[in-house]
């Protein structure tokens, strides 16, 4: 993608976010993947500022806003129900869907290598940028501005029906596998990316006789749950 093309995509993204950044550097930083700085020493003047620290902050801002919204909208729900719904709304899959709807991929600043490998379509990169964008809005104009962006961007996610097996998808997958006469599901980490303080795990789950399913998460446990959900959805169980 040309520089002009990315700039146009970033402008369209701002329109969809509904937030006019006073500090445009925050927007640029939120859209800059760590691959842009590969080979450049972090302490040098030429090193670009990537979005990993903003992602770290955005993860916490998102968790607060989701918890606040669920606490308000579901006054009778118990902690377990709220926790399972929160997990579904903040995981990498949900953030990637939000990012796709916003057109984040086209606005990302990536290295040539990452661009050629399809980085603009990678759910993990898009999800990370979505969290970074939420942090950028928060730093630019405060929690109210972040809440306004969140309410718009996550409207479709809140409209999605709650998944009956989200609370314990690994148990649901285990029960399904046993009902098919198969051994227990097997999980393995196939990739780990990101910084030490904000890693992304890619986990594969395999059930004998079925194609494996992969998904991502901020921890091994979260990625395993997401992979279990992915397989259950693919096989029509959910």
Q: Could you confirm whether 59 is annotated as catalytic?
A: yes
Q: Could you confirm whether 79 is annotated as catalytic?
A: no
What token pair was written down for 89? 């709304």
> What gap in Å lies between CA 233 and CA 229, rounded to an integer?
6
Burial annotation 189-216 (CB, 10 A radius, 16+ → b, else e): eeeeebeeebebbbbbbbbeeeebbebb
Residue of 55, 131, 204, 224 marked catalytic: 131
> What gap in Å lies between CA 89 and CA 166, rounded to an integer?
11
Number of separate helices (H) and strands (E) present in the chain:
12, 3
163 dihedral zone (left: phi>0; alpha: psi -120 to 50; beta): beta
**Nearby residues of 194 by Cβ (< 8 Å), 6 or more positions away:** 34, 52, 55, 128, 200
Residue of 50, 52, 55, 59 marked catalytic: 59
Name the residues annotated as catalytic.
Answer: 59, 131
């Amino acid at each position: 993608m040309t520089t002009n093309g990315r700039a146009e995509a970033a402008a369209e993204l701002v329109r969809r976010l509904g937030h006019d950044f006073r500090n445009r550097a925050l927007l640029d930083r939120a859209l800059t993947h760590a691959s842009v700085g590969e080979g450049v020493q972090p302490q040098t003047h030429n090193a670009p500022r990537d979005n990993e620290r903003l992602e770290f902050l955005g993860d916490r801002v998102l968790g607060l806003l989701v918890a606040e919204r669920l606490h308000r909208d579901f006054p009778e729900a118990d902690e377990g129900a709220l926790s399972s719904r929160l997990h579904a709304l903040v995981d990498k899959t949900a953030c990637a869907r939000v990012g796709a709807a916003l057109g984040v991929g086209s606005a990302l600043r990536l290295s040539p290598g990452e661009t050629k490998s399809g980085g603009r379509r990678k759910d993990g990169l898009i999800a990370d940028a979505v969290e970074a964008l939420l942090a950028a809005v928060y730093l630019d104009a405060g929690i109210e501005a972040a809440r306004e962006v969140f309410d718009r961007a996550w409207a479709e996610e809140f409209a999605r029906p709650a998944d009956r097996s989200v609370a314990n998808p690994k148990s649901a997958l285990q029960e399904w596998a046993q009902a098919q006469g198969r051994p227990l599901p097997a999980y393995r980490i196939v990739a780990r990316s990101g910084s030490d303080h904000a890693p992304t795990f890619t986990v594969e789950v395999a059930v004998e006789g079925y194609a494996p399913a992969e998904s991502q998460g901020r921890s091994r446990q979260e990625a395993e749950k997401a992979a279990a959900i992915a397989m259950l959805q693919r096989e029509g169980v959910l």
